[in-house]
């Protein structure tokens, strides 16, 4: 973690924007980057690596969260802030909540991303629907059998809640 000097939110966002431009131009992925900051210093950086890693989950925020959690050896980023060059997609927004990040700053909007061909807005609209109304068919199977595992987990004394 770097703590050279006090920095403003604008400084951290400028770093994220610079990183997104550099990595996009290098062919590493799309025009997205994210910075995770805690205690005034950069804990981790991530950039879009979807196409360079053939991984649809390698969004900038996900990459940054994985690196930050690894850096502090914890699944919780409570007290951290994330600076994302675009309003996070549903997957990334969920990961930000799961990681317990305390604050989100973003630059471009979902509408800005849609205007250049990214379908985050369509996914947000789709997941707001009940499963039976989504375009992807979904069917529940073997719920009773799967619930047995949940019951076992609930009673398991060695579990780590998250």
* Residues labelled as active-site residues: 61
* Total residues found in the chain within this entry: 162
Q: In 3D, which of 123, 91, 93, 86 has the Cα closest to residue 108?
A: 86
Pairing of strands 103-108, 33-38: unpaired
Q: How many CA atoms lie within 13 A of 92 on its CB side?
A: 28
Neighbours of 150 (CB within 10 A): 10
**Phi and psi for 46 in degrees, rounded to 5?**
-145, 150
């Amino acid at each position: 973690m770097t703590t050279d000097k006090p920095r403003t939110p604008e400084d951290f966002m400028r770093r994220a924007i610079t990183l997104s431009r550099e990595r996009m131009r290098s062919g590493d992925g799309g025009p997205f980057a994210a910075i995770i900051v805690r205690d005034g210093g950069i804990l981790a950086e991530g950039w879009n690596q979807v196409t360079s890693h053939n991984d649809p989950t390698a969004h900038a925020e996900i990459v940054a969260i994985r690196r930050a959690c690894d850096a502090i050896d914890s699944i919780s980023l409570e007290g951290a802030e994330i600076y994302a060059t675009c309003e996070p997609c549903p997957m990334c927004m969920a990961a930000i909540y799961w990681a317990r990040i305390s604050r989100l700053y973003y630059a471009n909007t979902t509408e800005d991303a849609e205007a250049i061909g990214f379908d985050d807005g369509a996914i947000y609209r789709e997941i707001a629907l009940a499963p039976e109304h989504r375009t992807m068919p979904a069917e529940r199977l073997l719920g009773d059998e799967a619930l047995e595992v949940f019951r076992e987990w609930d009673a398991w004394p060695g579990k780590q809640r998250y």
